Chain A
Amino acid sequence: MIGNLGQKAAGWVVNVAIAMTALRTNLMRSILTTLGVMIGVFAVTLAVAVGSGAQVSVMQSINALGSNMALVFPQPDTGEGGRRSFDRGRLTMRDARAIEKQISGISDIAPQLRSNIQLVVAGRNASTNAIGATPGYGKVSNLVAESGRFITEADVRSAARVVVLGPTVARKLFGDFDPVGETIRINRAPFSVIGITESKGSSFGNDNDDIALMPISTMRQRFSGDTLAGPDDLQMLFVGFEDGVSLPQAKREMTRLLRERYRVRGKDINPFTIRTTEEFMKESAQVTGIFQIVLVAIASISLLVGGIGIMNIMLVSVTERTREIGLRMALGAKRSDIRNQFLVEAAVLCVIGGAMGLIFAIAAGTALTVYADFPVPIGVGVGIGAIIFSAFIGLLFGGYPAVRASRLSPIEALRSE
């Protein structure tokens, strides 16, 4: 039994040796054929990696938002159909307080207003998306001041003219100079810079550092007069939850509470929308999953073409070596010996091509990560998968030529020129 296995293993080793000799004999042809598989495996591997990179990137940007939270915003939730009970969305500071009071497991809330503002200092200016926030914002979205300080309760109470800048805005206005304590003008009013946030990087070409924060009360007084219906309205509410809180459960409770507050009945559309980070993750996993499938499908076409190239060359090889096949049969080769010889030859071609494709994919992935700041992870699993898949391509497309070779009649093969 063991001897038999040993013989079988030795047989495969011999087949690999025969294959290497044959491939070396037609070196140029072998290289060109390998190139097809190489490009195919390169494309597929990179497609898989870019797909997972997109997934990682989305997850990162969702995590940058804050990991365990719900977003509430005053936009009628048209998701389920039904009668529209309000012409526009509703969300107020009172709603936010009610949520904080009545829903359990909340760590912090961050009611917000948002406005586009123009910042000016000493002839330089920048426009950015400003957030009117409370101290809770920093906690819910894991944002801390790297220099200076964040907005405090006192700032909110007094509607202080203070601003916390994102690193990008700070750089645009002040260069490398630390601007904490400086005064800038926002829409002609003087504000003092109290802090710089730490960098949150960028996700999907979106610069997370291109922001400015001021107390929510300050923004309400100075910038939001015409965009809001009521003096208590909010444009966004982040609700942070403690670890272990079930987000779907919390969402149901918040929905019930807000529906009661707005007296929404039956199937009528809610005048607010609640989304959780969990939902974002699921949705984006779906989107990136589809993105990845499409990418891999397109890349697979090149691998298919490479495989057809393998089949073509193997057919040529079988035809050219018909006499050798006949000779081997005369010397005692069984059909399976001949078939395996050509299968191994195709598989060796494909595995070499696959390995080279993998190396180039890793190089391209690394370049993308370094120069384009887009994560392209090629893990050990993907690598091994690519090699196994290449061998499979070899067996698939080498199968027909190999079987054809094994079915030749010994004498006809031997007589062929």
Chain B
Amino acid sequence: MTKTRMNLPAGIHKIMALVETQDLVKNYELGGETVRAVDGVSLSIDRGEYVAIMGASGSGKSTFMNMIGCLDIPTSGDVRIDGIATSDRDGDALAELRNQKIGFVFQQFNLLARTTALDNVAVPLIYAGLGGDERRAKAQAKLQEMGLGDRLDHSPAKLSGGQQQRVAIARALVTEPVILLADEPTGALDSKTSEDIMQIFQTLNDQGITIIVVTHEAEIANHAKRRIEFRDGKVIEDIAVTKRRKVKP
């Protein structure tokens, strides 16, 4: 049970921490019994990191991820995003935080059916309060970055799985967030397509975006720079990835 910290002085670490959790606990009531899904996790993730969160199903990794994504409310403890404490913020303030700081990528893509790629990517900008022209311009630019410039008017049904996930990544990035949270982003994709997505993540991280990926696949986790392993709601391992897999461009 060795914990390896990033090799940085404590002072600098405090300033640079992008995601910080303090004694984070999440309990669920299940059939009259209290299940402790996340059990007192304190860790910090810095700007520019690429973290893989691993663990078996039920280990608490997804619950942890949902809490740092401000989608789920901790039973106790605190999450700080970019220096902002979340425990005293109400639902609307959290919505704003998610909109501005966090981009989500899901296993099942979660695109709106019968809605074009462009409109799907523009959704977060609606809630950011941008006007129609600006929304379209930004969404189009992001889709072009994802290599989907010729698929703007395609609905999800007319796109392959990999293309759909790229639309979802464009949507996650369109508000220029500081963190990209991906929950099993390749879980619904074949290995070739998974590699494509991993390459995109690597490029994004190289550009300075902090990425946190939840996965149960070691292969995916090995793309990251740091690996945190969960078991029974606790962090059992937190190490730098030594043999990093790099996707050839």
Which residues from chain A sit less than 8 Å from chain B, CB to CB?
6-7, 10-11, 13-14, 21, 25, 323-324, 327-337, 409-411, 414
Q: How far is the CA of A13 from the CA of B98 in the complex (A)?
A: 23
Q: Which has the most chain B C-beta neighbours within 10 Å: A7, A331, A334, A335?
A: A331
Q: Which of B114, B127, B130 contacts A331 (CB 8 A)?
A: B127
Residues of chain B lying within 8 A (CB to CB) of residue A14: 126, 132
Taking a contact as CB atoms under 8 Å apart, the answer to whether A333 and B129 are in contact is no
Taking a contact as CB atoms under 8 Å apart, the answer to whether A7 and B104 are in contact is no
How many residue pairs link A and B with beta carbons under 8 A? The number is 68
Taking a contact as CB atoms under 8 Å apart, the answer to whether A332 and B98 are in contact is yes
Residues of chain A lying within 8 A (CB to CB) of residue B126: 11, 14, 337
Known: A6-B131, A327-B110, A333-B127. 18 other contacts (CB 8 A): A7-B130, A11-B129, A25-B113, A25-B114, A328-B123, A329-B98, A331-B127, A332-B100, A332-B124, A332-B128, A332-B175, A334-B127, A335-B91, A335-B92, A336-B92, A337-B95, A410-B71, A414-B71
Taking a contact as CB atoms under 8 Å apart, the answer to whether A324 and B112 are in contact is yes
Q: How far is the CA of A410 from the CA of B127 in the complex (A)?
A: 15
Residues of chain A lying within 8 A (CB to CB) of residue B171: 331
Closest 3 CB pairs of A and B: A332-B99, A332-B127, A331-B124
Q: Does B205 contact A (CB under 8 A)?
A: no
Q: Does B55 contact A (CB under 8 A)?
A: no
A-B residue pairs in contact (CB < 8 Å), sample of 27: A6-B131, A7-B130, A7-B131, A11-B129, A14-B126, A21-B114, A21-B115, A25-B113, A25-B114, A323-B110, A327-B112, A328-B123, A329-B71, A330-B69, A330-B104, A331-B124, A332-B128, A333-B127, A335-B91, A335-B92, A335-B95, A336-B92, A337-B126, A337-B127, A411-B71, A411-B72, A414-B106
> Dominant SS at the A interface?
helix
**Would you give the shortest CB distance from B90 to chain A, in whole angstroms?**
9
Chain B's interface size range is 20 to 34
Which residues from chain B sit less than 8 Å from chain A, CB to CB?
66, 69, 71-72, 91-92, 95-96, 98-100, 104, 106, 110, 112-115, 123-124, 126-132, 171, 175
Residues of chain B lying within 8 A (CB to CB) of residue A330: 69, 71, 98, 104
Residues of chain A lying within 8 A (CB to CB) of residue B112: 324, 327
Taking a contact as CB atoms under 8 Å apart, the answer to whether A334 and B95 are in contact is yes
Known contacts A7-B131, A10-B132, A11-B129; A329 and B95 CB within 8 A of each other: yes
Residues of chain B lying within 8 A (CB to CB) of residue A323: 110
**Would you give the shortest CB distance from B85 to chain A, in whole angstroms?**
19
**Would you give the shortest CB distance from A124 to chain B, in whole angstroms?**
74
For B171, the closest partner residue in chain A by CB is A331
